Amino acid sequence: MGGELEQDSKRDSKQDSKQDSKQQGLSFRQIARQSLRMTARDWRAGELTMLILALVLAVAALASVGFLGDRMRQGLERDARQMIAADFVVRADHPVDPAFAAEAVQLKLETATTAIFPSMISAGASGDSSSAPVARLAALKAVSPGYPLRGAVRIAPAANQPGTPATSIPAPGTVWADPALLDALKVPVGGTVRVGTRAFKVAAVITRELDRGFSFVSFSPRLMMRADELASTGLVTFGSRVTYRLLVAGPDPQVKQFATFARAKVDDGKLRGVALESLQDGQPQVRQTIDRASHFLTLVSLLTALLAAVAIAMASHRFARRHLDGCAAMRCLGVSQATLRSLFIGEFLAVGLLGSVAGVVLGFGGHLVLLDWLGTLVDVELPPPSVWPALQGIATGLVLLLGFAVPPLLPLTRVPPVHVIRRELGDAGRVAWIAYGVGVLLFAGLLVLAAGEWKLGGIVAGGFAGGLIVFGGIARIALWAAARFVRSERVGAGVGWRYALASLERRSGASALQITALGIGLMCLLLIAMTRSDLIAGWRQSTPPDAPNQFLIDIQPDQRASVTDYLKQHGQADATLSPMVRGRLIAVNGKPVSPDNYEKADAKRLVDREFNLSYTTQLPSDNRVVGGDWYGTNGRAQVSIEEGLAKTINVKLGDTLRFDVAGMQVEGPVTSLRKVDWNSFKVNFFVLMPPPSISDLPATFITSFHLPPGQQGLIDGLINKYPSVTAIDIAPILAQIQRVLEQVIGAVQFLFIFTLAAGVLVLYAALAGTRDERVHESALLRALGASHKQVRSVQTAEFVAVGALSGLMAALGAQGIGWVLASRVFEFHIDFNPWLVPAGIAAGVVCSGVGGWMSLRRVLSRPALQSLRDA
C-alpha cells in the first residue's frame, strides 16, 4: 500500500508540473485579493500572532538603535567644525611654527590661536590672615581675538543661569570660569582670582565650550583668558607643558590648500610634536565614546534580530504543517503550485509590511527612551532622523520574513492530493534551499549594515550560525546516545523514559531543532541575567569606590621626604612617591624613530611625545608580567614595557630601545612585557627600568591617593606649604566615568526588554513546534490502552530530557559568552558562576515542562478519538 501511494505521489507531482506549465492561473489582482483574505482569516485564527510579534520585536530593536545612531552621526557631522572651533587645526607641544600662520594669511584664511595647560588658580584675601588662600587645579586656556572661528562659547552672568553666545573673548583684566571652579574657590562672578603673579576679575561663567576635548587636563575646570595677557602671569617658562593650537577657517578650497601645505610640512620629518586635526578627526574621544556605546547597543539589537529569526523560522514550520490539509484540498480543486506559491508569498508580504511598519514605529519611540537613558553622553541637540533607519527596518522585516518564513512554506505548494492521507509535506526541492540561502545571505548583509562594520556584523552573524550548528550537533548526538543507553538491559530505565527518548530519536530532526531553539533562547535569557548581575557588577568594580582620586605631580627630589611625612600626618600613610623621568623614544634597534614609520594615528602620536619613565626593583601590585621575565634586582640596563604600548609601536621582546632624557641618552633591551590595570587609577608607567639605569637623570616624583569627601583642606594646606607641587583632582573624571557607565547600562537594559521578549517567543515557538506531533502520539497511546499515568510519565520524561539538555547547553554558552565579553570587550575579570549550570538546567526543565503541560493538558481529559481527529 505504501509503495502504491508513493508511486501515486510521484505521478501526481509530474502531472501537476505539466498542468502548471499550461495553466495561466489567477490574475495579479485576484491573487492579491485572495492573499489578503487568507491573511485576515489566519490573523483571526491566531496563526500569525507569533510571526508578527517576532517581526515587530526584531525591527523595533534594530530601528531604535538605527534611529539613535543616525541622529548622532548627523549631529557629529553638523557640529564637527564647532568641535574643533575651526575648519582645520595645527596642534603642537611648542609654539606653532610661524610658517603655518603665514601660509594661512597668504591664502586669506581666518586664524586664531589657543594655549592650554594645567595651572593652580587661587583665591582668598591676600592681606587678611584670617582667610587662608584656596587653590584649585584648572585647565587654563588663553585665546586670541576671533576665537572660536566656528561655533560659539556660551557664557552666563552667574551660575545656574542660561548661557548666551559670547560675541568676543574676555575683556582685558578679566577671565571666564567654569561654575565648578568658582564653587571650589568660593568666588562669585565679579570676584577676583589669582593666575600666576596676576589677579583677574571673573566676568562670566562658561556654560558651553564644544572644542573642550576629553584629554586628562580637560576634565579639570576651565579658566579662559586673553592670550596677550598670558606672559604677564609668569606661568609659561622654559619647560612648561603647554598645548598650542593654530585655528584656521575659510572657504573649502583654500582650507584644502592649507591642509596640503601643513601635511607636507609635517611629513618632511623636520617637525616633532606637531599634529593636525580636520573635521574627520575632531574630538576623536567624543566619537570613540559614542561609538563604543552605539556598538554595544547594536550588539543587543542584533541578538534580538537573530532570536526573532529563529522564532519566525519555527513558527513558519508549524504554520506550514497546520495548513497541510487546506493546501492539499486546494490542489484537489485544481489550484496550481505557482498559484499556491503566489498566494502564500502575497500573504507573507502583507504580514511583513504590517509587522515592519509597526516595528519601525515602536523603534522610533524606543530610540527616544534610549536618548533619555544616555542623558549627558549625548549633550547636544540632535537633528531629526532621516528616512534611512525606517527603510532599513522595513527591509530587515521583509528579508526576515521572506528568508526564514517563506522557505518552510514552499513544500506546501508541492503537496499532491494523496498526501492528505499520509499527512506529509511535499518535497522542498532546490527552490526552498535556494530561498533559504538567499534569505540568510541577505539577512547577514543587513546585520553587517546595521552593525556599521564588517567585523562586528560578521562576528555576530558567524557566531550565531556557529552556535546553531554546535547546539544542533550536540542535541542529535545526545539524543542518539541517550536512546541507546536506556535500551541497554543493564540500565533499569522505566517504560516512560524508554518511550520518550525513542520518540525524540525517531523525530530527531524536529527534536534537535526544538532543543537548539530552546537552548538559544535560554542562553540569551541567562546572558541577560548575567549582564544585569555579574557582568555589570564586574564593570562597576573595575573602578572601585576607594580608587585614588587625587594625584600630586612635580614633587621635587628635595621635597620627597617632607611631602611623604605631611601625607602620613594627615592619614595617607599608604601614599607612595614614585620617580618620574621624562624621555623621548629616539631609536629602536639602532634605527631612528619617526612618526612617518607608523600608519596608525595612536602610534604616530605616542612616538611624537615624551614618555613617563620610572625606575623600581619591585613589580607594582597592579602590574602582571605577560612576556619575558621581571628584572628584579638585576641592575643591568634593560626595559620593561607595557604590552599595549609595545603592540602599538611594534616593539617585541629583545628589541633595544633608546631614550633621550634632557639631552642624555639611555638604552636597554626589552626583557619583559607588562599588563597594567589602568582602571585602578594608581600611579603606573609605560616604561620601567632598574634604578642604576636612570636614577641619576633629572626626575620629579608623583603619587596618588584616595581623599574622602570633606578633607579638601589636606590639599589646600599642602599647596600652601609647597607651591611648586601640582594637585590634580580626578574625582570629576571618576564621576564622569560612573555617569557614562550608568547611562549606557540603563540604555542596554532597556534594549534588553526587546531581547527578553524575543527570547520568550523563541521558547514558546520551540515548545509549540512539535505540539501537534505530541498530541497525536499521546492520543494514540491512549487509544492503544495506555493509562493516564503512563502517558503522563512519557510526557514528563520527554520534557525533562529536552529541558535539561537545552538548559545545560544554554548555561555553558552563556558563561562562555559572558567571559568573552568581560575579558575581551570590557577588559575585566569575572569568575565562573557554579550556580549558573544548575540554574540553566532547572530553567530549561521548568520552561519545557510548563509549556508542554499547557499544550497537552487537555489530551488526558478528552476522548482519544477526538484528540486523534483534532491532531
pLDDT digits (tens, 9 = 90+) for 659-670: 998 888 999 999
pLDDT of residue 296: 64
Taking the model in full, what pTM does it have? 0.60
pLDDT of residue 100: 93
Mean pLDDT of all residues belonging to the chain: 77
Q: Count of CB atoms within 10 A of residue 433's CB?
A: 12
- 669 pairs with which residues across the strands? 656
- Give yes or no: residues 460 and 566 share one domain: no
Contact 818, 536 (CB under 8 A): no
| pLDDT over threshold 80, residue 761 | no
| pLDDT over threshold 90, residue 298 | no
Q: Of 667, 700, 729, which residue is a domain's last?
A: 729
Give the pairing of strands 192-195 and 174-177.
unpaired
- 589 pairs with which residues across the strands? none
- Give yes or no: residues 649 and 749 share one domain: no
Residue by residue, what is the 3-state secondary structure of 794-861?
HHHHHHHHHHHHHHHHHHHHHHHHHHHHHHHHCCCCCCCCCCHHHHHHHHHHHHHHHHHHHHHCCCCC
- Scan for cell 555576530, then name that residue: 460
More confident residue, 727 or 530: 727
Structural domain includes residue 152: no
Structural domain includes residue 744: yes
- Give yes or no: residues 748 and 712 share one domain: no
- Give yes or no: residues 776 and 833 share one domain: yes
Contact 86, 247 (CB under 8 A): yes
Residue-wise pLDDT for 539-555, tens only, equals 566 666 677 888 888 88
What is the identity of the amino acid at 43?
A: W
- Give yes or no: residues 526 and 441 share one domain: no
- Give yes or no: residues 744 and 854 share one domain: yes
Helix axes 836-856, 508-530, angle to 10 degrees: 130
Of 382, 528, 391, residue with least CA distance to 450: 391
Total of domains in the chain: 3
| Mean pLDDT, residues 516-532 taken together | 74
| Mean pLDDT, residues 697-723 taken together | 84
pLDDT of residue 708: 86
Structural domain includes residue 203: no
In the structure grid, which three cell numbers stand for residue 456, read together?
A: 562586528
Structural domain includes residue 313: yes
| Mean pLDDT, residues 796-802 taken together | 81
Q: Of 452, 471, 493, which residue is a domain's last?
A: 452
Domain carrying residue 698: 550-729
| pLDDT over threshold 90, residue 300 | no
- Give yes or no: residues 576 and 717 share one domain: yes
pLDDT of residue 360: 92
Q: How far apart are CA 522 and CA 516, in angstroms?
A: 10
Structural domain includes residue 405: yes
Instruction: Label residue 29 by pLDDT band (50, 70, 90).
Output: confident
What percent of the chain shows pLDDT beyond 90? 19
What are the angstrom distances between the C-alpha of 617 and each of 249, 502, 680?
52, 67, 21
- Give yes or no: residues 521 and 617 share one domain: no
**Start-end of H helices in 405-428:** 406-409, 419-422
| pLDDT over threshold 60, residue 85 | yes
Cβ neighbours of residue 542 closer than 8 Å, sequence gap 6 or more? 679, 826, 827, 828
Residue-wise pLDDT for 416-438, tens only, equals 665 555 555 555 556 556 666 77
| Mean pLDDT, residues 805-819 taken together | 83
| pLDDT over threshold 80, residue 166 | yes
More confident residue, 215 or 107: 107
- Give yes or no: residues 300 and 419 share one domain: yes
**What count of residues does the chain have?**
871
Instruction: Label residue 284 by pLDDT band (50, 70, 90).
Output: very low
DSSP state of 178: -
| pLDDT over threshold 80, residue 377 | no
- Give yes or no: residues 633 and 775 share one domain: no
Q: Please measure the distance between the N-terminal and C-terminal CA atoms of the chain and give it in whole angstroms.
A: 23
Most confident segment among 162-166, 456-460, 709-713: 162-166
276: enclosing H helix or E strand:
strand 274-277
Structural domain includes residue 367: yes
- Give yes or no: residues 610 and 504 share one domain: no
The dihedrals phi and psi of 627, each to the nearest 5 degrees, come to -160, 135
Structural domain includes residue 485: yes
Residue-wise pLDDT for 596-629, tens only, equals 788 776 787 788 778 889 999 999 988 999 999 9
Q: Of 729, 757, 776, which residue is a domain's last?
A: 729
- Give yes or no: residues 826 and 791 share one domain: yes
> Count of alpha carbons within 13 Å of 134, Cβ hemisphere only?
15
DSSP state of 268: T
Candidate from 383-397, 404-418, 501-515 with smallest mean pLDDT:
404-418
4: enclosing H helix or E strand:
helix 2-22
Give the pairing of strands 700-705 and 656-661.
unpaired
In the structure grid, which three cell numbers stand for residue 869, read together?
A: 481527529
Residue by residue, what is the 3-state secondary structure of 486-549?
HHCCCCCCCHHHHHHHHHHHHCHHHHHHHHHHHHHHHHHHHHHHHHHHHHHHHHHHCCCCCCCC
Most confident segment among 288-292, 754-758, 858-862: 754-758
| Mean pLDDT, residues 473-482 taken together | 83
Structural domain includes residue 90: no
Cβ neighbours of residue 823 closer than 8 Å, sequence gap 6 or more? 829
pLDDT of residue 128: 43
| Mean pLDDT, residues 355-378 taken together | 80
Q: Is 778 helix (H, G, I), strand (E, B) or coil?
A: helix
| pLDDT over threshold 60, residue 346 | yes
Beta strands in 537-655 (DSSP E): 550-555, 578-588, 591-592, 610-615, 623-628, 639-642
User: Is 814 exposed, middle or buried, given 0-12, 13-18 or 19+ CB atoms closer than 10 A?
Assistant: buried
- 550 pairs with which residues across the strands? 705, 729
